[in-house]
Amino acid sequence: MINLSIENEYKKWLPDENKIIEITNKIFDFYMSCSEISKNSCLSGYEYETIAFDILFTDGVQTHIINRDYRRKDYPADIITFALFADSTPEERFVQEFEINLGEIIIALDKITEEAEKKGIGKDIELIFMISHGILHLLGFDHQTEDEFQFVVDHQKLALENIGIKYDKI
């Protein structure tokens, strides 16, 4: 089970939160059914009943501030993840009442809209693609090398295909 909290500070686009929760659950379940993800994720070896994380919808101005202040990167990002569980050492990780808090995904909806327009796709599809990306980061997957990037993108595409969305706009 996923305990998902969504907050939207960007009032120019109000995605259907119930739909986002439903799709996020399906993507997460798909990832956990992939042995190459489940065995290599930060959750491997832990007993839990619930996974918790937050999604914050905001804009590029806010992600620029967050990027600058917390990541020392001076540009607006379409997505930022704070992978609390994955980025902690095993000694720092804790499971409270069989719940693991993975962290937070922050998405700039104006940047998602821009990217969708560039790609010629619907902004809802681009948003789902980025949520699937954020979940992989929360699970401990990064993309510092070309192979890691390809792994992440391939699994994002598979996750979307699993819910009936063909995504080929990389």
pLDDT at 170: 59
**Model pLDDT, residue 167:** 81
- Residue 78 per-residue DSSP state: S
pTM for the full model? 0.95
Angle subtended at Cα 124 by Cα 52 and Cα 53, rounded to the nearest 5 degrees: 10
Cβ contact 50:1 at 8 Å:
yes
pLDDT tens string for the chain (170 positions)?
A: 899 999 999 999 999 999 999 999 999 999 999 999 999 999 999 999 999 999 999 999 999 999 999 999 999 999 999 999 999 999 999 999 999 999 999 999 999 999 999 999 999 999 999 999 999 999 999 998 999 999 999 999 999 999 999 887 65
CATH class held by domain 2-162: alpha beta
Q: How far is CA 125 from CA 5, 45, 130, 166, in A?
A: 20, 33, 9, 9
CA distance 21 to 40: 24
pLDDT for the residue numbered 166: 84
Ramachandran quadrant class, 102 (left: phi over 0; alpha: psi -120 to 50; beta: rest): alpha
Every domain of the chain and the residues it spans: 2-162
